[in-house]
Amino acid sequence: MKKKVLILGSTGSIGRATLEVIENQRDTFEASGIVCRDNIGLLNKQIELFKPQYVCVFNKKQEKDVSFDKKRLFTGIEGILRMINTDVDIVVNALPGSAGLIPTIETLKAGKILALANKESLVMAGRIVSRLVSESSSRLIPVDSEHSALYQLLKDINPKDLKTITITASGGPFRKHKKKALELVSPEEAMNHPTWKMGKKVTLDSATLMNKGFEVIEARWLFDIGQDRIKVLIHPESIIHGMVEFIDGSFTAYMAVPDMKIPISYAINEGNIRKLPFESLCLHELKRLTFYPPDLVRFPSLRLAYEALDAGDSALVVLNSTSEVASQAFVEGKIRFTDIPILIEEVLDKHDIIPIIDDLEVVWEVHSWAKENGEKIIKDKR
């Protein structure tokens, strides 16, 4: 029997890569459900190619243009939740931002395998998600390349032997920019990532290093490890994705070409390596691998993420939610690139910390509070 895969965000960067992996592993998988928000042109092509059992379009207004049997076509978040509760085996959550949180929770409650690309679920509600994973029969396997690397490196090691883990970062398109030059960068320049082709929000987060901050938080919850033992290293070649340091001073590192199909395949194969027909690493062609520490003065977003982890659960929600507001404002030309972390810090400073959140309602209350406050600051400054 083929495994049934539901892809939330099938028209996005991770969603398209997932379909490519499925296309190459047709003996094992079928894309039984696909979901998008607006891109009906591509959705219709995917329907024709993959013949899913169910389809969902988030934006209800687009429903009429979808070429699919209306009885198996759903809309909105209710539609996504219905699809999770069909007979699917694996859910790939490749939705961006806070939109991914409810589907993550529902997938875990339904006892399905969760291949999680939506790191924001863990940033906003890591404690709740971790509890659900430990209490339910489901499994969470990370899709983020760094976390997939660490997941594999940490398998079967004795926790007593572990000293630190390291997440690498390409450094983004502005890694060589002086602080002053960063004030002038445009949204178009920020969208030009040197090594990865990704969706807009994650590409912008890579340019500010907020993405790395989110990944530190993601690692804290996934691997139950204190933030003081999670390191970040800039590694422009994006070949080593994660490293583990042991108490005797030795390291192990995970290397691969920067291609999301590798961690996607690992995740949907439930933590198993499968042969892939894509480009692989040619070690003798690598001229060098370089590493240096991140500059938290030019890229304060990463510092804010560590500080939010120290502060408590609600600070993590504020970090994510204000980041969504600030990123949107930058893309719309309302604030400068360097204003993004300033705005996030301003909202964090106004916030009364709730150290532990184990209720989803509270997450949404803090989320709304942070969005409102972020938007108000932007409006007042204009």
Ligand X SMILES: NC(=O)c1ccc[n+]([C@@H]2O[C@H](COP(=O)([O-])OP(=O)(O)OC[C@H]3O[C@@H](n4cnc5c(N)ncnc54)[C@H](OP(=O)(O)O)[C@@H]3O)[C@@H](O)[C@H]2O)c1
Nearest approach, Cβ of 258 to ligand X (angstroms)? 9
- Residue holding tokens 């408590």? 312
Q: Could you give the string, one character per residue 342-381, with x where binding to ligand X holds by CB under 6 A and - elsewhere?
A: ----------------------------------------
Among the listed ranges 32-40, 47-55, 106-114, 265-273, the one in contact with ligand X (CB under 6 A) is 32-40
Contact 152, 266 (CB under 8 A): yes
**Does residue 198 interact with ligand X by CB under 6 A?**
yes
Instruction: Determine phi and psi for 133, rounding to 5 degrees.
Output: -60, -45
**Does residue 316 interact with ligand X by CB under 6 A?**
no
Nearest approach, Cβ of 318 to ligand X (angstroms)? 18
**Does residue 129 interact with ligand X by CB under 6 A?**
no
The 3-class secondary structure across the chain, one letter per residue, is CCEEEEEECCCCHHHHHHHHHHHHCCCCEEEEEEEECCCHHHHHHHHHHHCCCEEEECCHHHHHHCCCCHHHEEEHHHHHHHHHCCCCCEEEECCCHHHHHHHHHHHHHCCCEEEECCCHHHHHHHHHHHHHHHHCCCEEEECCHHHHHHHHHHCCCCHHHEEEEEEEECCCCCCCCCHHHHCCCCHHHHCCCCCCCCCHHHHHHHHHCHHHHHHHHHHHHHCCCCHHHEEEEECCCCCEEEEEEECCCCEEEEECCCCCHHHHHHHHCCCCCCCCCCCCCCHHHCCCCCCECCCCCCCHHHHHHHHHHHHCHHHHHHHHHHHHHHHHHHHCCCCCCCHHHHHHHHHHHHCCCCCCCCCHHHHHHHHHHHHHHHHHHHHHHC
Residue from 3, 20, 24, 37 that binds ligand X (CB under 6 A)?
Answer: 37
Among the listed ranges 89-97, 176-184, 265-273, 367-375, the one in contact with ligand X (CB under 6 A) is 89-97
Nearest approach, Cβ of 241 to ligand X (angstroms)? 11
Which residues ranging from 247 to 276 are in contact with ligand X (CB under 6 A)? 260
**Does residue 294 interact with ligand X by CB under 6 A?**
no
**Does residue 96 interact with ligand X by CB under 6 A?**
yes
Residue 309 corresponds to which tokens in the numbers above?
């982890």
**Does residue 38 interact with ligand X by CB under 6 A?**
yes
**Does residue 88 interact with ligand X by CB under 6 A?**
no
Nearest approach, Cβ of 247 to ligand X (angstroms)? 30
Among the listed ranges 122-130, 150-158, 198-206, 323-331, the one in contact with ligand X (CB under 6 A) is 198-206
Among the listed ranges 107-115, 193-201, 242-250, 369-377, the one in contact with ligand X (CB under 6 A) is 193-201
Count of residues in the chain = 382
Residue from 3, 20, 28, 39 that binds ligand X (CB under 6 A)?
Answer: 39
Among the listed ranges 8-16, 122-130, 182-190, 348-356, the one in contact with ligand X (CB under 6 A) is 8-16
Which residues ranging from 218 to 247 are in contact with ligand X (CB under 6 A)? none
Give the number of residues in contact with ligand X, rule: CB under 6 A. Answer: 29
Which residues ranging from 132 to 171 are in contact with ligand X (CB under 6 A)? 144
Nearest Cα to 322, choosing from 97, 95, 100? 97
Residue nearest to ligand X (CB): 12
Nearer to ligand X among residue 221 and residue 351 (C-beta): 221
Nearest approach, Cβ of 382 to ligand X (angstroms)? 27
**Does residue 119 interact with ligand X by CB under 6 A?**
yes
Nearest approach, Cβ of 111 to ligand X (angstroms)? 22
Among the listed ranges 6-14, 289-297, 312-320, 357-365, the one in contact with ligand X (CB under 6 A) is 6-14
Distances from the Cα of 36 to the Cα of 70, 73, 175, 200, angstroms:
16, 12, 33, 15
**Does residue 196 interact with ligand X by CB under 6 A?**
yes
What does the binding site for ligand X look like in residue numbers (CB under 6 A)?
Answer: 9-15, 35-39, 58, 94-96, 99-100, 117-120, 144, 196, 198-200, 202, 260
